[in-house]
A and B are shown apart, each in its own frame.
Chain A
Amino acid sequence: MIVELDAIRGVTLDTIYDSSEGTLIQTCIQCGTCAGACPYGEYMDYPPRRIIKMLQHGLIDKVFNTDSMLKCVNCYACMMKCPREIHLTEVLLQLVKEQTVIKLPVVPPELQKALENNYRYGNPMGESGRKRANWVQTSTVPIRILSQNPEPVDVLWFVESYPAYHPRGQDTCRAIAKILSALDVDFAILGNEEKSAGECGLLSWESGLAEALVDYNMAILSKYKFNRIITSDPHALDAFNFRYKMYGFKPNVTHIVPFVMQYLDKLKPMLRKTLGYSVTYHDSCCLGRHNNYYEEPRTLLKSIQGVKLIEMVHNRINSICCGGGGGGMWLDTYFKSQNMERLSDIRIREAIDTGADVLAVVCPYEIPRFEDALKVAGYDKKMAVKDIMELVCEAMED
C-alpha cells in the first residue's frame, strides 16, 4: 500500500502520467470513497475524487486557485480506503498542495508564522534553538546530549519540537527518559543541535522548507554513530521513513511505542502500580493508518494493571484525525473563519461518549489539541489526555 519511493522520485504534476503512480491514477473509477472518507471533504470545492477528474481533463490548475487543499489534514483516510490503492496523500495531494501554497493570494498568518519559525528557529513555535534541550534539566534520570559526549550510542532519540518545547510534551519526554533508563537502553539526544524533522514542512506543502530541514538534520546526524533512531512523534517517524529515505538517508527508525513493545517482557514486572483507569485510545493518523501500528499501543495499554480499554466508535483504520496534520496545527483560526468545526472537537465527543477517564494518545500534537477540545466541551475535569508513555511511567511508580 505504501508507495515505492523510487517510483515517485522527482515526479511533478506535469510528469505524473509517466510514472507508475500516474498509471494508477488513470485506473480511478470515480467511486468517491476518498471524498466520503475525507473528514473535511464536504468543505472542499475539490475533494480528492474531483482532483483526479480535473487532472485527467488537464484542468488541475483550477484546483490550485481554491483553498481545497488547505483543508487537507493529511490523515491518509482517502488513501487507505481507495479501492485502486492510489497514493493520494503521499503523492498526488502533496503535489497539488505545493502549487496551492505558491498560488495562495495570502497564506493564513498562523501558518505563515509557523513555517517561517521552522525555517529560522527549527521549530514551529518560534522558540530559541538554544532552549531546545532545556527540558533535560528537569529530568529525574540523566540524559546524554551527543554534542557534549559524542561517543557512539545504541539508540538516538529524536525528540522533535512539540515534545521539546511544549510543557505537556516535556511531560512525555520525562516519562520516556525514565522508561528508557529503567530498561537499561543506551540512549542519547541531539539536544540543541536538533531541528524539526520537516514532515510538517513537507505535508503543509512546503517542500523547500522540508528540504532545508532534511539537509540540516542529515548533516547533524551524520556526525554521530548510532544503531537506530526512536521518536515519540509519528510525524517525525514519517519524515524519516519517507522523506529522508528519498534523500538517501536510511536509518532504522521506530516510534517509541513499538520500540518499548520490544522490551515488554522486561517492562511488565516493572509496572507494579494498578492505575484503575478506563482508557480510550486515539489512533494517530501517521502511526495507525500510515505505519500500520494499531495493536501495539493497545497491547501496551492492556499490559498496565487496572487499565480497562474502551474503543471509540471510529477506531483503527476508521479513526478520525485530530486535525493537526498537514499544517492543520496552524490553521485552526482559518478553519474557524470558514465555519468548519475543529476535528479535535468532533473527535473528543466520541472519546467522551466512551465514558473513559483517560484519552490515551501517541502523538505530541494530540495532547494540546485534545486538552483544548475537552475544555471547549466542558469535560476537562472528567477526562485527562495522556501520552501512553506517561501512563506507562505512572504505572512504574511505587
Chain B
Amino acid sequence: MKFIVFLKMVPDVIEELKIADDGKTLDSNWIRMKLSECDENAVEEAVILKEKFGGTVTAVALDAPELDDALFNALAKGADKAVKIVGEWKDVRSPAIAEIFAKYLRDNYPIDNQTLILSGSQSIDDIEGELVYYLGELLNLPAFGVITHVDYDAGQNRISLVKEFAGGLRGEFESEVPAVIGIQAAEKPPRYIPIAKIRAIMKSASIEEVEIPLDGIPSGAVIDKLFEPETSGKAEMLEGSTDEIIEKLIGIFSDKGII
C-alpha cells in the first residue's frame, strides 16, 4: 500500500493570538505554528496501517513556519518520505488547500488502486471537516471524514471504516481503494518519539521541496473581518445580607416583568 498523508500547520493556541493591523489576519510576528492535532493523528494512523499491512508513508505538507520540525517528527515516527509544498499562495482555506493537494498528486504522485490518501479531519481551520470532501471531489475519489478506525482487506482490496456521528452514534463504511480518508483520531494516541531520534533524523534525512504555482488556485472563502469574542451581557453579583439580596432580586424580577 501507498499511504499519502496531507498535513498543514495551524496557529498554536498556547500562544496568545493577536489580530494583525489589517483586521483580517492573525499577526504573524506573534503566532507560532504547529501541526494540527488531527493531522498528528493522521500521521499516526498512516504509520499504524503501514506497520499492519506493509507499504510506504509519504508525508506532504504546506509550507509554514516550523514545518520542518513537524516533518522530521513524521519521519521519526515511521514516514518514509517528507515533502514540503511551496508556493506564493497565502492564507489559503480548505477549498484552496484541497486544490493545491490535488495539483500535487496530479503532477507528482500517480494514484493507483494501492493508494490511500489520509488527512486530518476538523482541524481548527477546517471545522466542518470539509477538506477531505473537496479533495475527494477534485480527484473523483470516495471521501470519508471524521474517521476513527481504518481496516484493510488485502484480498478484496477494500477498506472498512468507522465514522463518528453526533450524539454518540457510529457508522461503519466500506470502500474501494483508492479513497480519501479524514482522520479524527488514530487507533492509538500519537506515539512518543525520543528527542534523540528526532535530532538524529534532522541530521540524516532530507525534505523534498515541490513548488505548486499560483495559477488556478481559487481563493475560496474570503475573510472580511477577524475579531475577538465580544461580551454581550454581564453577570451581576448581588451583595449584602440575605434580606437585602432578596429585596434586590424582587426588584430585578419586577423590572424584567417576570413578577
Q: Which residues on A are within 8 Å of B, measured CB to CB?
A: 101-102, 106-107, 109, 112, 115-116, 119-121, 126-128, 130, 201, 206-209, 211-212
> In this complex, what residue of B is CB-closest to A102?
B194
> In this complex, what residue of B is CB-closest to A210?
B195
Q: Is the CB of A212 within 8 A of B199?
A: yes
Q: Is the CB of B195 within 8 A of A206?
A: yes
Cα(A101)–Cα(B197), bound, Å: 12
> In this complex, what residue of B is CB-closest to A131?
B16
- 8 interchain residue pairs of minimum CB distance: A208-B196, A208-B195, A107-B192, A209-B195, A112-B192, A128-B15, A128-B14, A208-B194
Q: Name the residue among B34, B195, B199 with the largest chain A CB count within 10 angstroms.
A: B195
Q: Is the CB of A127 within 8 A of B14?
A: yes
Contacts of B188 in A (CB 8 A): 106
B198 interface hit (Cβ, 8 Å): yes
Q: Which label, helix, strand, loop or mixed, suits the secondary structure of the B interface?
A: loop
Q: Is the CB of B16 within 8 A of A128?
A: yes
B171 interface hit (Cβ, 8 Å): no
Chain B residues 41-86 with CB under 8 Å of chain A are none
Contacts of A212 in B (CB 8 A): 195, 199
Question: Can you give 17 contacting A-B residue pairs, CB < 8 Å?
Answer: A101-B192, A109-B189, A115-B192, A116-B192, A128-B14, A128-B15, A128-B16, A130-B15, A130-B16, A206-B195, A206-B196, A208-B194, A208-B195, A208-B196, A208-B199, A209-B196, A212-B195
Taking the closest CB of chain A, its distance from the CB of B100, in whole angstroms, is 26
Contacts of A206 in B (CB 8 A): 194-196
Contacts of B198 in A (CB 8 A): 208
Q: Is the CB of B196 within 8 A of A211?
A: yes
Q: Is the CB of A119 within 8 A of B195?
A: yes
Q: Is the CB of A121 within 8 A of B195?
A: no
Contacts of B191 in A (CB 8 A): 106-107
Q: Which label, helix, strand, loop or mixed, suits the secondary structure of the A interface?
A: helix
Cα(A101)–Cα(B189), bound, Å: 16
Q: Name the residue among A109, A206, A208 with the largest chain B CB count within 10 angstroms.
A: A208
Other than A127-B14, A211-B196, give 9 A-B pairs with Cβ distance below 8 A: A106-B191, A107-B191, A112-B192, A115-B192, A119-B195, A208-B194, A208-B199, A209-B196, A211-B195
Cα(A206)–Cα(B14), bound, Å: 24
Taking the closest CB of chain B, its distance from the CB of A62, in whole angstroms, is 21
> In this complex, what residue of A is CB-closest to B15?
A128
Cα(A250)–Cα(B155), bound, Å: 63
Contacts of B34 in A (CB 8 A): 120
- Give a binary string over B188-223; 1 marks a CB under 8 Å from any A CB, 0 the rest: 110110111111000000000000000000000000
Q: Is the CB of B16 within 8 A of A207?
A: no
Taking the closest CB of chain A, its distance from the CB of B211, in whole angstroms, is 29
> In this complex, what residue of A is CB-closest to B13?
A128
Cα(A389)–Cα(B196), bound, Å: 37
Cα(A115)–Cα(B188), bound, Å: 18
Taking the closest CB of chain A, its distance from the CB of B65, in whole angstroms, is 13
Cα(A126)–Cα(B197), bound, Å: 21
Cα(A13)–Cα(B1), bound, Å: 39
Q: Is the CB of A207 within 8 A of B192?
A: no
Taking the closest CB of chain B, its distance from the CB of A277, in whole angstroms, is 35
Contacts of A201 in B (CB 8 A): 195
Cα(A157)–Cα(B186), bound, Å: 44
Contacts of A128 in B (CB 8 A): 14-16
Cα(A206)–Cα(B34), bound, Å: 22
Cα(A396)–Cα(B179), bound, Å: 71
Taking the closest CB of chain B, its distance from the CB of A68, in whole angstroms, is 19
Taking the closest CB of chain B, its distance from the CB of A55, in whole angstroms, is 22
- Give a binary string over B1-20; 1 marks a CB under 8 Å from any A CB, 0 the rest: 00000000000001110000
Q: Which of the residues B15, B16, B189, B197 comes within 8 Å of A208, measured between beta carbons?
A: B197
- Give a binary string over B169-199; 1 marks a CB under 8 Å from any A CB, 0 the rest: 0000000000000000000110110111111
Taking the closest CB of chain A, its distance from the CB of B99, in whole angstroms, is 31
Cα(A109)–Cα(B199), bound, Å: 22
Contacts of A115 in B (CB 8 A): 192, 195
Cα(A211)–Cα(B15), bound, Å: 25
Q: Is the CB of B16 within 8 A of A101?
A: no
Q: Is the CB of A101 within 8 A of B195?
A: no
Taking the closest CB of chain B, its distance from the CB of A105, in whole angstroms, is 9
Cα(A188)–Cα(B199), bound, Å: 32
Taking the closest CB of chain A, its distance from the CB of B182, in whole angstroms, is 24
Contact status of A101 and B194, CB under 8 A, knowing A106-B188, A128-B16: yes
Cα(A115)–Cα(B192), bound, Å: 9
Contact status of A211 and B194, CB under 8 A, knowing A126-B14, A127-B14, A128-B14: no
Cα(A175)–Cα(B136), bound, Å: 60
> In this complex, what residue of A is CB-closest to B30?
A130
Cα(A130)–Cα(B189), bound, Å: 28
> In this complex, what residue of B is CB-closest to A109?
B189
Taking the closest CB of chain B, its distance from the CB of A148, in whole angstroms, is 18
Contacts of A121 in B (CB 8 A): 14
Contacts of B14 in A (CB 8 A): 121, 126-128
> In this complex, what residue of B is CB-closest to A108?
B192
Contacts of A120 in B (CB 8 A): 34
